[in-house]
Structure 1
Amino acid sequence: MTCAKPGCRSILICTFCILLLFINTTLAQQTNELIISEIMADPTPAKGLPEKEYLELYNRSGKALNLNQFVLGYNNSTVSFPDFIIQPKEYVIVTNRNNVSEFQAIGRTVGLSSFSLLNTGTTLTLKTNSNRTVFSVTYTSKWYSTGKTQGFSLEMIDTEFACVETGNWVSSEAVLQGTPGKENSVKASRPDLTPPVLQRYEYLNNQQIKLVFNEKLDSLSAVSQLAYTVDKSVQIKSIVTESPANTSVTLTFQSDLQTKTSYTLTARNVADCSGNVLKEASLQVGIVSEADSGDVVLNEILFNPGSGGEDFVEIYNRSNKFISLKNWALANADNTGTVGNIKPITLTNYVLMPGQFLVLTRNASVISSQYYKTIASHILEMESLPAFANEKGTVVLLNQLRKVLDRFDYSETMHHGLIDNKAGVSLEKSDYNLPSSLPSNWHSAAASDGYATPGYANSQYKSAAESNTFMIEPEVFTPDGDGSDDVAQLKFQLTQTGFVANLYVFDANGRMLKQLAQNQILGVNDQIVWDGKSYNNELAPVGYYIILAELFNTNGEKLEFKAKVVLGAKY
């Protein structure tokens, strides 16, 4: 069939243009092409913006999109978008249709028939009409910057890595406390270059476990039959990711795991949503057992955090059992012993591994930022903690039946007597095999560990040393920055806790070159380093030096050590 008439040709051209527009506005539905880039969940008090909740959509693709192809999921509800074209690289405001007139002067706005956001956080999804997830984000109130919560929006920092959640969202820096319909005020390059971490597993039943990773996974690599193996001839029947979060994978085995047996699970070549690949990681897994009294104990508590800090309680699994913490709790107790202010630890089958230290706190990122040795994978966030007064109080550990497993009555007077500012200093148990009720079993954490040891062995854990020793390694050090023997390590091994150190460096003529420590609280196995520099921060001359260590405690005991170290140079 041909069309020679001008009118007919015009009709064909128009039809072609309509088809082209249809294609350009319907086929661009790849993952993370249309994203949510800003969330205003708590708009009160406002500072120039409408005092209404809103989201911001951003079209990352090079094609126009008709929003009528998408469904927004929020608070376990869904709502369809109306007919509305969002252009390539365009930002669009989303709000309740009753609020559209208030936002139109700010930017292009689409109204929804129903729409509400939770202040504390929820999962938001963008799905196609065929129920395929295009974008998801699970926001939380913990993402807000300090002092910028109510009235501030949460903005995505790097839209090029839109699938990244933790660390990629923060409070708006705009004067109006939000940037609806515009480029985000916090926009910056923050590429995700780190592979995912296999953090832990949750016990589901004797034939199923759930692996938990620290970030969103690539859904294809996460369900590969080659991605996971288990020793002792355990065969995997099926692998399923948990959508839309994609941070966990459920493994179903061909047969039941055996009781009182530890298995090694290995994950290989699992990629995150940004394409970074976890080459290999292993995890011990097993069937959970009931905890007996004394299996899990209180091990450390920070009840008086420093500025901007958070309380935490650390527990320790003394047994060889895999123990589920589901429905366990922390609580307080009054003078009569009555337990109250009960706060659940977790509602999931979180497994506490044999010999594992676990920190319980409200905000894991704060703990990690304030204590540099923190093991982040050994932190479990709770919605809230019991009240821990700065002067004195109680912490009680309860199992799922609300049986008291351990209790500690703490007081700030239990801290080392020479600590003037106790804020940010934890109390550690020196021997987790001794009762928590024994006051002499608790001591201030060592200064060398930053005054707390969240997620790992206590700095004041009871020493097996039979005598007090002091040594320097290496005996000859060369502080030239080549990464080999750049510092002298001054190592102490002490038979008891509570010692405080003063350390001095003297040259060969007996002149004091530098004081390395002044009233520094030591752990029972501790070290202080000398980088070869003097008081004026200049490198000392090549030669030998004398280290004098003076130790004392509040019981009046004194120790003194002297040792020689050589500061050398490579020629």
Structure 2
Amino acid sequence: MIPNMRNFSLILLICWAKIASAAFSCDFYDTARPARSFALRAGETIVINEIFANPGGNALLPVQEFVELWNPSTEPVVLTGWSFSDLRSKAVFGADTLAPGAFLLICSNADVAALGRFGKVHGISPWPALNNDEDMLTLSDAEGRIADQVRYDLGWYRASPSKGLSLERIKAGGTCGGRQNWLPCTDAGGITPGRMNTVAGFHDQAPPVILAAAAVAGDSSIILAFSGEPDTATSLRPASYKVNNGMGAPATVVPEDTDFRKVRLNFAGSIPRNREYLISTPGLRDCAGRPPARGECALFVPDTIAPGDVLISELLCNPRPGGVDFVELYNASAKTLDLSGLHLARADTLGKPADIRPLSATALLADAGSYRAFSINPAMLSGQYPQAPAAMLVGVGRLPAYYNQSGSVLLLQNGRLIDRLDYTEGMHHPLLQNMKGVSLERSDFNQPAFITGNFSSASAAAGYATPGYRNSRQADSSQINRVVLGVTTFSPDGDGRADVLPVHYKLAAPDNLATLTVYTDRGVKIRILLRNEVAGGTGTVEWDGRDEQGRPCPAGVYLVHFSSFGLKGTRFSTHKACVLARNLN
């Protein structure tokens, strides 16, 4: 024992020469605090800190691949017997120790001398050659336990070229892993071997996350969009989210992209429609551990679209020079509806949908009784028809090809026909000489599109088109005696949507006797629903799509004839056309 040194630790200088790697290293450490020879929790001891997989592109940069290790802990770590591998090969470390806070470059034995100018280097063999596009790198301790693992791909470069640019770790440990915890180096040289990464502290310097938007997806899911990247752990935890009106937390949470900027909340049951919800994120945190700066978002979930709810209202397929086509839809229901799930198409030579085009990639709400006109250039459309309200004009990437002379406009939802207009130039007013820039408007939303005269030329007083607002030819429904179909298209298939045809009537005198009969479009009597019965002032009769013998009627066009007479000799009669739809499959 050295005299007078009883209370002091012996400081040893340990030097060794690694002959196989032609490298020479020295480390100082206190024998009272021996170097650790076991792995702590992954990411909290030695970590993979920088990856240079695609050298070149700059004469000042090294042409050798390397991986930088970093010891962010407060203890030295013995690396002897540790291993570094990718999916194809594995190499074992020779004797080495990494001091607290120190960096170590690992590379091929042949590249040790070239990389020595950047700091401490450890050569290994065989070197797992790094793939430029993607690879999985694993660092394991001497007992085979994984200390760190990184699986990178070209997406980690965030659209920057990978040539001559390293990937840097943002933070050791923490809850944000994978792509979220790596960025391309921002140093002018493209790499930072042997020194602190340029992106260190990025999470702390980034603005707090904001819940930017919410949208319903299907019957039981909501997609949330954030302004930045929330941390991986809390963003996938159902308890991090809360929805009012009895919904509570989702059953599961699934990422919609690799940055977790979009997540899908999946609920155990269907989300009730026609309600507004408040979505909050009480448990969400960003990669710096902060709650969102704005963590609440209101979401209105519209009702589902049934046949007859949305109708083709107007078509312009022969625009003026410099103009554009448009198709207008009308919300004929009493509900607020989302039109984003609808598609426009045309009919091919066999009458089947072709050239199918979506109306909107995001939610597109339409109030009851409102119009939306779709074109490839709403600004141009507004310029040619100045009365058109800009808020009701919707831009689309492309419309189906609707020819001037004739064609078919099909409105679809999930492949199901919602409405159809078969048009010809002959539907225009017979005295109209120039049809350019003149739209075909629907006059009666209670009648199918195919009824003769239901589509004709827009009026001159309206500028020959009314995109986005009430049609100039729209019928006035203020008569006292009135019959209205609840839907113009129904499908008695038992799915709970438009399974019956409601016939609503209103009569001037309550003592009327009424008869209600259903005919085919060829005049063949199918069903008598009322036969000289006391009707009262108002009422509703439903047809279930069956004939007098209870047999299901085939798909097609049917006429509903209503007639009544009163004790004072008053008479009223009218007929309405409807479409009985069956599944196209």
Name the TM tier (shorter chain). Answer: 0.3 to 0.5
